């Protein structure tokens, strides 16, 4: 792969913990992408995540929107988020990369990190938010700040709107795919791995669309009911890390080790937690009609090739889970009102457009959904470049490289 624009490896002077920041591309001098805390996080992982953000930003481009896509960036800290030192390590990491956060990198919560935690740390470092670099470019920054604040204050059935939009997009991606393949949502089945913000919301909105969620995997194991789980009861019984209190299970629900999620027969398999969880060795176990990537990079490339050969399409992460990032910027730039109704309507429309465009192209060319989505991102990046210019990063030519300045 071609080199990113910037890579930084940081070593915490107190604990020796490593942290990483990668800016893959800049558009108008800006990049967007979250910060994760995960034991085992590597520079290679963060590099791949930053590349994925370049793709996500380009993919949702619509010349009718006020929002003009940014470049892609990502941060990661190699530490268990439950470690009591995590917040202090986070504070020192952000202090070390503060000049980049102030001027280029717009970040937010990701795996292992809650938005309220990063906001609190940022405030202690003198930042009004973690997206100050974007606010500095806006004509009416106070109005944009107000929209974002009001949007995060919206409560939907006891959950912040900001914690729902990503998983809602994953669910809608799966439902639109079912429709296109002639499988009614009512009566279809799904397995969701991960029950945090993305996985929990994906399960909720799949169930509300009529899809029976028959298994959910969290850190404590697999919860399964072939007749369908009570998703709302499980959501009410989960802790802040997305672990379900097993005392809330019904007598007909069963528990098993969490690696059993790959073996459950279903229409939609939704990996929505960790990266690199589906390897080539796992493919013979998978009994799903499609994989919908709610997490970033959950399927290894050789596994995806085998799934494609077996007739199991993979809806790639930068298509399926793009809506958290897009929703932030639609809100900031004023393309949606800070309400659930406006937000969900926009997501519905964009998901249907993207899944339809990518699926039609893949069918016509006989290629994978990932290849078709990369080509769409490539075309959109060319349009953005024509308007404002792009610097740094990109994807290799053999993957339909994003246009570079």
- Looking at the structure, do residues 202 and 264 belong to the same domain, yes or no? yes
The answer to whether residue 74 is catalytic is: yes
For the residues 128-146, what does the mean pLDDT come to?
A: 95
Same-domain check for residues 241 and 94: no
Q: Are residues 87 and 176 in the same domain?
A: no
Co-location of 101 and 184 in the same domain: no
Count up the domains in the chain and report the number. 2
Kindly report the backbone phi and psi dihedral angles of residue 254, in degrees, each rounded to the nearest multiple of 5, phi listed first.
-120, 155
Give residues with Cβ within 8 angstroms of 297, minimum separation 6.
45, 48, 49, 52, 275, 276, 317
Q: In the structure, what pLDDT confidence band is assigned to residue 295 with cuts at 50, 70 and 90?
A: very high
Identify whether 384 is part of a domain: no
pLDDT reading at 395 higher than 70: no
Q: What integer is the mean pLDDT of 247-268? A: 94
On whether both 119 and 221 belong to a single domain, the answer is: no
Based on the fold, state whether residues 254 and 369 are members of the same structural domain. Answer: yes
Residue 300 has pLDDT above 90, yes or no: yes
Assess whether 200 and 274 both reside in one domain.
yes
pLDDT computed for residue 388 by the predictor: 74
Q: Are residues 106 and 27 in the same domain?
A: yes
Q: Find the range with the poorest average confidence among 16-30, 76-90, 374-388.
A: 374-388
Same domain, 131 and 164: no
Q: Any idea what DSSP says for residue 238?
A: B
Percent of the chain with pLDDT over 90: 90
Per-residue pLDDT tens digits for 171-220: 999 999 999 999 999 999 999 999 999 999 999 999 999 999 999 999 99
**Chain-wide mean pLDDT for the chain?**
93
Percent of the chain with pLDDT over 70: 96
Looking at 159-316, list the stretches that DSSP marks H as alpha helix, in order from N- to C-terminal side: 165-180, 197-208, 231-236, 301-309
Average pLDDT estimate for 1-24:
94
- Determine, yes or no, domain membership for 386: no
Instruction: Let me know if residue 75 belongs to a domain.
Output: yes
295 assigned to some structural domain: yes
Residues 96 and 214 in one domain: no
Give, in order, the Cα–Cα distances in Å from 335 to each of 31, 143, 148: 19, 13, 12
Model pTM score = 0.91
pLDDT at 259: 85
Tell me the pLDDT tens digit for each residue of 94-126.
Answer: 999 999 999 999 999 998 899 999 999 999 999
Q: What is the CATH number of the domain that holds 125?
A: 3.40.50.10860
Q: Quick check: is 383 in a domain? A: no
329 in any annotated domain? no
- Say yes or no: 248 and 366 in one domain: yes
Please tell me whether residues 315 and 182 are part of one structural domain.
Answer: yes
Tens of pLDDT, residues 276-291: 999 999 999 999 999 9
Of 18, 36, 74, 204, which residue is the catalytic one?
74
The number of beta carbons lying within 10 Å of the beta carbon of residue 342 is 15
Run of H or E including 289: strand 288-292
- Averaged pLDDT, 303-328: 97
Look up the domain containing 14 and give its range. 6-58+66-137
Residue 403 scores a pLDDT above 50: no
CATH (domain of 320): 3.40.50.720
CA neighbor of 310 nearest in space, from 291, 297, 294: 291
> Residue 390: is its pLDDT beyond 90?
no
CB atoms within 10 A of CB 265: 14
């Amino acid at each position: 792969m071609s080199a990113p624009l910037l890579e930084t490896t940081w070593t915490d002077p107190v604990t020796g913990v490593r942290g990483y920041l990668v800016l893959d591309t800049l558009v108008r001098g800006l990049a967007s992408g979250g910060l994760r805390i995960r034991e085992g996080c590597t520079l290679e992982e963060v590099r791949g995540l930053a590349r994925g953000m370049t793709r996500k930003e380009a993919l949702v481009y619509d010349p009718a929107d006020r929002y003009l896509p940014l470049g892609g960036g990502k941060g990661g800290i190699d530490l268990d988020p439950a470690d009591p030192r995590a917040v202090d390590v986070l504070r020192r990491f952000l202090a070390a990369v503060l000049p980049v956060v102030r001027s280029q990198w717009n970040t937010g919560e990701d795996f292992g990190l809650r938005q309220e935690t990063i906001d609190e740390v940022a405030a202690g470092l003198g930042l009004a938010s973690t997206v100050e670099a974007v606010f500095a470019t806006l004509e009416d920054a106070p109005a944009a700040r107000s929209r974002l604040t009001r949007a995060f204050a919206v409560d939907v059935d006891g959950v912040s709107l900001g914690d729902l939009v990503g998983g809602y997009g994953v669910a809608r991606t799966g439902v639109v795919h079912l429709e296109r393949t002639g499988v009614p949502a009512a009566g279809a089945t799904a397995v969701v791995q991960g029950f945090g913000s993305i996985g929990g919301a994906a399960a909720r909105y799949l169930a509300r669309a009529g899809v029976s969620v028959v298994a959910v995997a969290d850190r404590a194991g697999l919860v399964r009911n072939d007749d369908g789980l009570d998703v709302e009861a499980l959501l009410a019984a989960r802790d802040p890390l997305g672990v379900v209190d097993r005392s809330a299970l019904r007598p007909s629900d069963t528990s098993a080790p969490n690696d059993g999620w790959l073996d459950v027969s279903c229409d939609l398999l939704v990996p929505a937690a960790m990266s690199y969880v589906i390897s080539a060795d796992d493919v013979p176990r998978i009994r799903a009609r499609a994989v919908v990537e709610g997490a970033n990079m959950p399927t290894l490339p050789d596994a995806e090739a085998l799934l494609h050969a077996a007739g199991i399409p993979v809806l790639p992460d930068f298509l399926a889970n793009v809506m958290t990032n897009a929703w932030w910027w639609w809100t900031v730039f004023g393309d949606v009102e800070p309400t659930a109704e406006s937000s969900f309507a926009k997501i519905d429309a964009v998901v249907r457009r993207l899944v339809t465009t990518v699926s039609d192209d893949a069918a016509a060319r006989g290629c994978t959904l990932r290849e078709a989505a990369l080509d769409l991102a490539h075309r959109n990046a060319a349009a953005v470049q024509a308007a404002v210019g792009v610097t740094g990063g990109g994807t290799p030519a053999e993957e339909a490289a994003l246009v570079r300045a």
